[in-house]
Structure 1
């Protein structure tokens, strides 16, 4: 086996312009996973935004990982175990909110269901 890990961005890489995994791509990735390649879905999206694609590829069956929040959280799809998690420092919440109000922008945060 030549490759052990295949890390893929989502939009325009894993998925087409309609944000769909084509049957050909799905079959190729599942075959790679069957052969032992660890498929990693990597994105700036929150975990909840990546999970449907991981389920579609059956990564819970074949193995693989979700790398969400630009690497802030990494989950093993087979076990559901969080392998890496970097939480936003609590002492920065107030300064970021103050900065956001000053510049009239809205900070976003997420919970397990999506954007709060």
Structure 2
């Protein structure tokens, strides 16, 4: 069946290792749009971290849509209208924050308007995330977070440190939250119903498309859910070995314009 919707992860997929969109990728996306294909960025980043890319890729036109917060938010890019949103409760936040102190791991919470941390000594990966997604960064105590709408929390530390703490996360956390690695140094905690796959199905339904008409392209664990639901799941050559098990196709690496290769080989006519 003809592919009519393409969901693209950003980091490690759309972008090169140094954070660029190659000319080949830009041109292939424009060709797909010209053929009536919906090209949607599906990312763990907040909206602030994708606006410049949406503009650069001309994916900010009427009818363009974007999936952010690992599936926690779907918006119309042009109007800013929210089509779908899931949030963590304040009680969820308190439990996640308490565990971070117990495990001695830096942690931050992300809202539509900024990144908030209760770590007086702000972790280097929290600072990195704020710069990466061009977000304001705030220090707030847990008590000051009650009035904020939190879409996700993140434990952030050296990869080996995150590996060490995984067995210490209580079993009930896995029942209550979606817990995924979006990068070696990021462990994300989201509402249980939230993942890129569920958001992608919501989006396909809104566009009156079947899963067979959807291609999803990614490279990390947090992309697994959307590869599982897409009719054509594609992993980058640089993807984790685990993710490649869920792909029907392997494209070139992000540094070799793998998104462009996938679009030209399996989407463009």
TM-score range, shorter chain: 0.7 to 0.9
- Is 1:109 the equivalent of 2:109? yes
CA contact 1:7–1:41 (8 Å) conserved in 2 = yes
Give the aligned partner of residue 50 of structure 2.
50
RMSD: 1.9
Deviation at 1:113, TM superposition (A): 4.5
1:108–1:73: structure 2 CA closer, same or farther, 3 Å change rule? same
Secondary structure of residue in 1 paired with 2:52: helix
- Structure 1: which 4+ aligned runs deviate by more than 4 Å? none
Supply the distance in 2 between the matched residues of 1:17 and 1:115 (Cα, whole angstroms): 24
> 1:50-69 counterparts in 2 under 5 A?
50-61=50-61, 63-69=63-69
Give the aligned partner of residue 88 of structure 2.
88
Give the aligned partner of residue 22 of structure 1.
22
Supply the distance in 2 between the matched residues of 1:107 and 1:43 (Cα, whole angstroms): 19
1:113–1:23: structure 2 CA closer, same or farther, 3 Å change rule? farther
Which of structures 1 and 2 has the larger relative contact order (alpha carbons within 8 angstroms, sep 6+)?
A: 2
Stretches of structure 2 lacking an aligned partner (at least 5 in a row): 117-269
Give the aligned partner of residue 9 of structure 1.
9
Give the aligned partner of residue 35 of structure 1.
35
Secondary structure of residue in 1 paired with 2:13: coil
Give the aligned partner of residue 255 of structure 2.
none
Q: Given the two structures, how large is their TM-score scaled by the length of structure 2?
A: 0.40
How many residues are aligned here? 116
Deviation at 1:55, TM superposition (A): 1.2
Deviation at 1:41, TM superposition (A): 0.6
